[in-house]
Amino acid sequence: MPRPGKAAPEIAGELAERIAAALDAGAAQQAAALSTVGRLWLSEAGPLCGDARIEGERVAPVPGEGECGIDRPVRVDRIAGVAFDPPPVLDCRLATGLAQWITATATPLFAADGAALAGLGIAGGYVCRGVNYSEEGRISEHGRGMAIDIARFERADGSTIAVLDGWGSEGGGDLLGRVHGDACGIFGTALGPGSDAFHQDHFHYDAAERRRGYCPDDYAPEEEEGG
């Protein structure tokens, strides 16, 4: 007489348990590997991101769902003497790009305008989300620590130029336009008030790899003046 086999629900239950156990084992291995990478990262010596202009500290790897997360993140307090408020958590590739932009563009332009650049008001750093907060489609560079949003510029004399109020104004429009325009090429993407409705109150810069920079609102004062 043939032996009775297991009922379908019993087989399904055992299979589910095996799958769950395999997933748990895989997650444990991944966590162990991440922990090792994190310890090595936190114990590294030398300047942050290999750039003495960047001040702050290494922080533990940031886990995230899907494509989100940062393997080697840094919390940036200031770059080339310019303070970040609040300090964002970023990938080193973006931090080094910011160092280049601040040193070569922002600082000299503010100095030429009469008051040194002392700080940046940060509206966004790392956050796991879709592009323009969409729940569908690709992950924003913010979700990789590769993007930053800057809402205001603080001068050494105590004055502030906000992107929302200053863009196109007599008091700071030309300066903001030049600072933003020169960011194109340094960053993979440079977006601002002239880009779309999502960037009316801040500059978005990211280190996405592109064949050429994506800068839909390049600033060209000679064209605006009819030249």
Q: What is the pLDDT of residues 69-99, one digit of tens each?
A: 999 999 999 999 999 999 999 999 999 999 9
Which of these ranges, 11-25, 60-74, 112-126, 189-203, has the smallest mean pLDDT? Answer: 11-25
Greatest mean pLDDT among 15-24, 92-101, 197-206, 214-223 lies in 92-101
- Residue 11 resides in a domain: no
Q: How many residues does the chain have?
A: 227
109 in any annotated domain: yes
Residue 48 has pLDDT above 90, yes or no: yes
What is the total count of domains within the chain? 1
Domain enclosing residue 220, as ranges? 44-224
> Does residue 133 fall inside a structural domain?
yes
Angle made by CA atoms 126, 104, 219, in degrees to the nearest 5: 80
Name 161's Cβ contacts closer than 8 Å, sequence gap at least 6. 152, 153, 155, 171, 172, 175, 176
Mean pLDDT of the chain: 84
Q: Of 8-22, 113-127, 171-185, 211-225, which has the strongest mean pLDDT?
A: 113-127
* pLDDT of res. 219: 47
> Does residue 216 lie within any of the structural domains?
yes
At residue 85, the 3 state secondary structure works out as strand
- In 3D, which of 104, 88, 99 has the Cα closest to residue 53? 99
Predicted TM-score (pTM) of this structure: 0.78
Say how many C-beta atoms besides its own lie within 10 A of residue 202's C-beta: 23
**pLDDT score recorded for residue 101:** 98
170 versus 106: the higher-pLDDT residue is 106
Residue 19 lies in a domain: no
Within a domain: residue 95?
yes
CA 91 – CA 71 distance, rounded (Å):
8
Is a pLDDT exceeding 90 seen at residue 11? Answer: no
For Cα atoms 194, 199, 202, give the angle at the middle one, nearest 5 degrees: 105
